[in-house]
Amino acid sequence: MDPDLRRRLEAVVGAAHVLDDPDTRASYETDWTRRFSGPAACVVRPASAAEVAGVLQICRAAGIAVVPQGGNTGLVGGSVPRAGEAVLSLRRLDAIEDFDEVAGEVTVGAGVTLERLQEHVRAAGWDVGVDLASRASATIGGMVATNAGGVRVIRFGPMRHQLIGIEAVLADGAILRRLPGLLKDNTGYDLPGLLAGSEGTLAVITRVRLRLVPLRPARAVALLGLPSLDAALQVVRAVRRAAPGLEAAEVFFPEGLDLVLRHTHLAPPFPRPYPCYLLLECAGPADPAPALAAALEPVADPAATLLATDRADRDRLWACRERHTEAISAEGIPHKLDVTLPADRLAAFEPAVRARLAAVRPAARPILFGHAGDGNLHVNILGLDPDDDAADGAVLELVASFGGSISAEHGIGIAKKPWLSLTRSPADISAMRAIKRALDPAGILNPGVIFDLEPPAPGVAEPPGRV
Amino acid sequence: MDPDLRRRLEAVVGAAHVLDDPDTRASYETDWTRRFSGPAACVVRPASAAEVAGVLQICRAAGIAVVPQGGNTGLVGGSVPRAGEAVLSLRRLDAIEDFDEVAGEVTVGAGVTLERLQEHVRAAGWDVGVDLASRASATIGGMVATNAGGVRVIRFGPMRHQLIGIEAVLADGAILRRLPGLLKDNTGYDLPGLLAGSEGTLAVITRVRLRLVPLRPARAVALLGLPSLDAALQVVRAVRRAAPGLEAAEVFFPEGLDLVLRHTHLAPPFPRPYPCYLLLECAGPADPAPALAAALEPVADPAATLLATDRADRDRLWACRERHTEAISAEGIPHKLDVTLPADRLAAFEPAVRARLAAVRPAARPILFGHAGDGNLHVNILGLDPDDDAADGAVLELVASFGGSISAEHGIGIAKKPWLSLTRSPADISAMRAIKRALDPAGILNPGVIFDLEPPAPGVAEPPGRV
């Protein structure tokens, strides 16, 4: 890299934190999926908002774009460089501060992992409202920047709803800082909520204040075998109204459970297979099992219902669902889609997407699972060439025709950009571009993520970046 | 008004819906508080987003600014004209559509009142997550535009958190429309969340899709007499962790209860007065009274605790809190402030604000009440000249020094604009101005609300507009 640029960056973050040898850069240049990768000019590792501001000012003056990066666990290519950008790693911003154990609020550096924060606050009887499988690596900053969801959205909402304060650095180096943690604050535009989910394109998030949720020590998990997804959704609705503290409602199908059983040492949960499986978890201050059992009684077949309250039994039931991702990866390299359907269209979408895939790519092996309470289905597809987008496009077009969203949790990144206009209108995209130009006129923050600053020429669609 | 302008507006909305005679205009020109008022060029009453778009295009071309208005129940002067703007009344957008009684979602025209929506969805076992005292007049569009809060924020969050789809018209007439109602949708910037709370300055909200919450038929209300606000907050924390379904935690003080008792026919709830009162409500599918009683047992004095489960008894306890506003208005014209404090500063703020008021304006009679679970205190002040802002400024400066917010629920409007910079930094305000310019470059949407498009000259502060 340019020695003068290096010298200026080192003056801000220290010589040890401007990295440009290829071996060190490598882990920052390729994402967790190994599907997205690109060359970085360098990796810069600031330790404070002021250092982030200094780095952004230098990069802006030098005309170098910046890719903010947390735990690099994203699935849409939004946290790795595409074309010689500087990677701005936020992992050194790892302080947990001002934990109010009475009110349940905490200020968290962008680089703190979800798991570390969970351990920290659980010791005092609190919990983070969002939980997801990549907790050991995913950072709070990245989770806010992508508005992460996970398995508890049905009860506590996504990261955006946990946010009660933010510190972030704008492209010009100005620092937005409001961290008192106010549950109600109607004083102008909701900048924290706007930055949440903006995937690093509007500002670099450096610290957040989060509201916590009380730890719910008593838990009950039910696993049900059911004749269809429609039947599963009916059970979810019944339980949602009758059982307090429903915080997970996960569905999966025999093709996924077969993969899990084949690649793990788990025993089959039931003596026979069912067309659809539903996992429910209720939690609260007091044992939720009686209310859950009572809610299930009128709607579930006792022979196809397992109820677990102690930890080991609950974990065994959860493993049938949580080990899907690992089992799918052991079987091959999947195409990963993550879609939401309107509540009343989800049941009809499931056979429709299988039929569409069979028509477009007969070799495709779909493995579906997801969050039934949110209409959110993860569509994993094995048996496809990694560079063959035809199935992805066919699925996303089907989602759009059902009135759904092409990305429920993962974001757009660069992976889903070609299909953004399927579910965001020209007026929507134009308004987003106007906001991007207003806050980052030079376009140095994560360029090319979500949309390009200039609309593409008519008829031109850009393929997602690839290794 | 200009006959050519009238003709063009009539071509869009019909002759019956362009109103400019002074008698008809009057009810649109003065707000509910009677404190804020200004002349309107005319009142235009469109019946659809397309008509709103047409009106905005005509007004923009004619250089006439527009003040969107719903139920006109705002408390900060943001919904009435200041200087000859056109009032855009949204009340004819009053359709309730696509009620999904299974999933609990509904599409609501901006002009539907909260009360009408409540009646509509409650008949099918659902409820709106937000409730507030002005429900008979407040419209859903206005409640979203101001991100209304109310008494259930502690459980369900403010209006922004109920929003799962929006239709809104930008200043140039472009219509943003995404109403499928997707609980998860990470496809770019959260435009619905940005418009919520933007007080009509970025777009005109015409329809929204809301997620509903299950009706909680079983309810328990407790009223406690306590030695201090600090003691009340300790009870709230204990109940929050131990009793499921806490959905209101309201505090008030003897000066407010005295006013209520004097201006209504209510009997005193306790044989003796207490320094602080706390009203708690829990609700759920099953009777929450046993859990509430058990949670209160270790922290409350039985002699100073009333517990009610049947409707009439609950209403009697609620009246002690809900009739504050009416009793205060019967006593005089109050200055109304609405502030949030960080959770750990609320108890210290209460004596501090009383002391500050006594020092600044010895005649001031503060009546405090609020939402203890959110740190939100309504500071009503009697005994002041309506045009004397010294007490307001002193209170808001104290709030800022405690790290709080100068507006918890009401918004900034024009009433709180002089103090915006107390709790929003120059970087914040500059980012808000950039977003405003990006979406409304001509500045025709509710100009002068929240902030002025151009920063004032150094040293110049603008007083709030007044009747």
Least confident segment among A39-43, A252-256, A454-458, B10-14: A454-458
- Pairwise CB contact (< 8 Å): A174 & B343: no
Q: Of A116, A83, A98, which is closest to residue A208 (Cα–Cα)? A: A98
Chain B interface test: which of A107, A127, A183 (most B C-beta within 10 Å) = A183
Q: How far is CA B2 from CA A217, A327, B5, B8, B171, in A?
A: 68, 71, 5, 10, 21
Task: Tell whether the model's pLDDT for residue A464 goes beyond 80.
Answer: no
pLDDT at A108: 98
CB contact under 8 A, A161 and B158: no
Helical ranges in A244-323 per DSSP H? 254-263, 289-296, 311-322
- Domain over A218-325 is classified CATH 3.30.70.2190: yes
Identity of the residue in A100, A193, A285 whose CB atom sits nearest the CB atom of B244: A285
- Record: contact B190-A197, CB cut-off 8 A: yes
Q: How far apart are alpha carbons B416 and B464 in whole angstroms?
A: 7
Q: Render pLDDT for B118-146 as a digit per residue (tens, 0 to 9).
A: 999 999 999 999 999 889 999 999 999 99
What lies within 8 Å, CB to CB, of B358 at 6+ separation is: B364
Query: pLDDT class for A368, splitting at 50, 70, 90?
Result: very high
pLDDT tens-digit series, residues A382-414: 999 988 999 999 999 999 999 999 999 999 999
**What pLDDT does residue A95 have?**
98
Which chain B residue lies closest to A434 (C-alpha atoms)? B438
For a pLDDT cut of 70, what percent of chain A falls above it?
97
Q: Where are the domains of chain A?
A: 218-325, 332-410
Residue B467: the pLDDT is 30
State the pLDDT at residue B458. 57
Q: For A84, which DSSP code?
A: S
Place of tokens 């003596």: A271
C-alpha B284/C-alpha A414 separation (Å) is 44
**A408 closest CB neighbour out of B181, B186, B284:** B186
Contact B408 A185 (CB under 8 A): yes
Record: contact B343-A125, CB cut-off 8 A: no
Residue A114 has pLDDT above 90, yes or no: yes
Cβ contact A182–B406 (<8 Å): no
Most A CBs within 10 Å, among B121, B130, B153, B187, to test the A interface: B187
Q: Do B237 and A286 touch (CB under 8 A)?
A: no
Q: What angle do CA A334, A424, A381 make, to 5 degrees?
A: 10
The token pair that represents B162 in the structure block:
């109920």
Out of B153, B244, B411, the one facing A284 most closely (by C-beta) is: B244
Do B218-325 and B332-410 fold alike per CATH?
yes
* CA B113 and chain centroid, separation: 14
Cβ-Cβ pairs closer than 8 A, A with B, add up to 264
Beta carbons within 10 angstroms of residue B433's beta carbon: 18
| pLDDT at residue A456 in the model | 58
Which residue in the set B241, B403, B427 is minimally distant from A285, CB to CB?
Answer: B241
- What is the per-residue pLDDT for B151? 87
- Cα of A78 to nearest chain B Cα, Å: 12
At position A365, the amino acid (one-letter code) is R
In angstroms, the separation between the Cα of residue B404 and the nearest Cα of chain A is: 7
| Per-residue model confidence (pLDDT) at position A103 | 84
Cα separation, A165 vs A157, whole angstroms: 16
Structure token digits, residue A347: 């049941």
Contacts of B176 in chain A (CB under 8 A): 425, 427-428, 431
Residues of A in contact with B175 (CB under 8 A): 427
Inter-chain touch B186–A147, beta carbons under 8 Å: yes
Copy the structure tokens of residue B10: 């009539």
Q: Which residue of A has its CA nearest to B245?
A: A244
List helix spans (H) across B264-345. Answer: 289-296, 311-322, 324-331
Closest in B284, B405, B450 to A182, CB measured: B405
Reported confidence tier of residue A340, pLDDT bands at 50, 70, 90: very high
Decide: helix, strand or coil at residue A217: coil
Nearest to B244 among A102, A175, A245 (CB): A245
Structure confidence at residue B32 (pLDDT): 78
Which residues, given as ranges, of chain B have pLDDT below 50?
A: 461-467
The alpha carbon of residue B410 is apart from the nearest alpha carbon of chain A, in Å, by: 7
pLDDT at A408: 95
pLDDT at A455: 65
Res A163: pLDDT? 96
**Nearest CA-CA distance, residue A213 and chain B, Å:** 9
**Interval A196-217: pLDDT, tens:** 999 999 999 999 999 999 899 8
Q: What mean pLDDT is predicted for residues A74-79? A: 92
**Residues B180, A403: C-beta atoms closer than 8 Å:** yes
Chain A residue numbers with beta carbons less than 8 Å from the beta carbon of B193 are: 160, 190, 193-194
CATH number at B332-410 = 3.30.70.2740
Chain A interface, best mutation among B52, B57, B99, B184, by max A CB count within 10 A: B184
Average pLDDT, chain A: 93
pLDDT at A459 (0 to 100):
54
Are the beta carbons of A405 and B241 separated by less than 8 Å? no
Considering only CB atoms, A376 lies closest to which of B184, B425, B438, namely B184
Task: Measure A197 CA to nearest chain B CA, in Å.
Answer: 6
For A151, name the nearest residue in chain B, comparing CA atoms only: B184
> Which chain B residues are within 8 Å of A174, Cβ to Cβ?
427, 430-431
Cβ contact B344–A100 (<8 Å): yes
Q: Which residue has tokens 């109010």? A: A100
For B359-373, how does the pLDDT look when each residue is reduced to its tens digit (9 = 90+)?
999 999 999 999 998
pLDDT at A466 over 50: no
d(CA A380, CA A365): 8
DSSP state of B113: B
Nearest residue on chain B to A245, judged by CA atoms?
Answer: B244
